[in-house]
Amino acid sequence: MTIKDIPEEWEIRATKTPFVGNKTSVRTDDVVMPDGHVAARDYQVHPGSVAVLALDEAGRAVVIRQYRHPVRHKLWEIPAGLLDVPGENPLHAAQRELYEEAHVKAEDWRVLADVYTTPGGCDEAVRIFLARDLSEAEGDRFEVEHEEADMELERVPVEELVRGVLAGELHNNCLVVGLLSLIAAQQGDGLDALRPAEAPWPARPFES
């Protein structure tokens, strides 16, 4: 038996969208279950996201601290953002987010992990990149607003961040997945064996 996620779609008898927001919406599908019953399933419809674990030559990760209102916390995170344009190349989006949030560029890009953040209630798919060979970006810093106006930026040793994850002190999904994927890759076939930055992503197909 191969342990691998596979695409599948059960019959939908009816669908409605009771809420439409600025970036996301809520959908209700009436889904036919294996026993023949029809059950309503509510979920958030999300455009998808990218995140970047940017690693410098000293083994430090670029992290930001930002207020997240739904959980009433300031969370340490890795740079991330929405795929605002349908079909947008996720690498280009990740490069943009790293520039806007950290004013950094990277020469070496690879895919660390592809995840569904909360598949029981949201269709958000996130591609987490590893970025290396960092340098300061050229030009003016991106002008921030809203929550980002209060954002803090640091470079923290990976070992310290991993300790915080395992101690229950750091909670951001992309930070946790990115860090632990990094450690697994380092202890496995090495970072150069990771998928290329433009590897196919069936969850959010894109043009090169």
Tell me the mean pLDDT in the region 105-127. Answer: 97
CA distance 201 to 173: 19
Tell me the mean pLDDT in the region 175-184. Answer: 98
Could you tell me the maximum CA-CA distance found in the chain, to the nearest angstrom? 60
Task: Please report the pLDDT score of residue 150 as a whole number.
Answer: 81
Task: Please report the pLDDT score of residue 40 as a whole number.
Answer: 97
Active-site hit among 9, 88, 97, 148: 148
Q: Where is pLDDT greater, at 137 or 52?
A: 52
Task: Please report the pLDDT score of residue 147 as a whole number.
Answer: 62
CA distance 171 to 75: 7
Active site residue 154: no
CB 150 within 8 A of CB 202: no
Sign of the alpha-carbon dihedral angle for 154, 71, 20, 174: positive
Is the predicted pLDDT of residue 198 greater than 80, yes or no? yes
Query: Residue ranges of the domains in the chain?
Result: 12-44, 49-196
Quickly state the pLDDT bin for 143 (edges 50, 70, 90): low
Task: Please report the pLDDT score of residue 162 as a whole number.
Answer: 98
Whether pTM > 0.85 for this model: the answer is yes
Tell me the mean pLDDT in the region 139-167. Answer: 84
Task: Please report the pLDDT score of residue 139 as a whole number.
Answer: 73
Quickly state the pLDDT bin for 142 (edges 50, 70, 90): low
Is the predicted pLDDT of residue 208 greater than 90, yes or no? no
Tell me the mean pLDDT in the region 7-28. Answer: 96
Task: Please report the pLDDT score of residue 92 as a whole number.
Answer: 97
Three-state DSSP at 63 gives strand
Is the predicted pLDDT of residue 159 greater than 90, yes or no? yes
Task: Please report the pLDDT score of residue 12 as a whole number.
Answer: 98
Q: What is the mean pLDDT of the chain?
A: 94
Q: Residue with structure tokens 């003016």?
A: 140
Is the predicted pLDDT of residue 190 greater than 70, yes or no? yes
Which CATH entry fits the domain spanning 49-196: 3.40.50.720, 3.40.190.10, 3.90.79.10, 3.10.180.10? 3.90.79.10
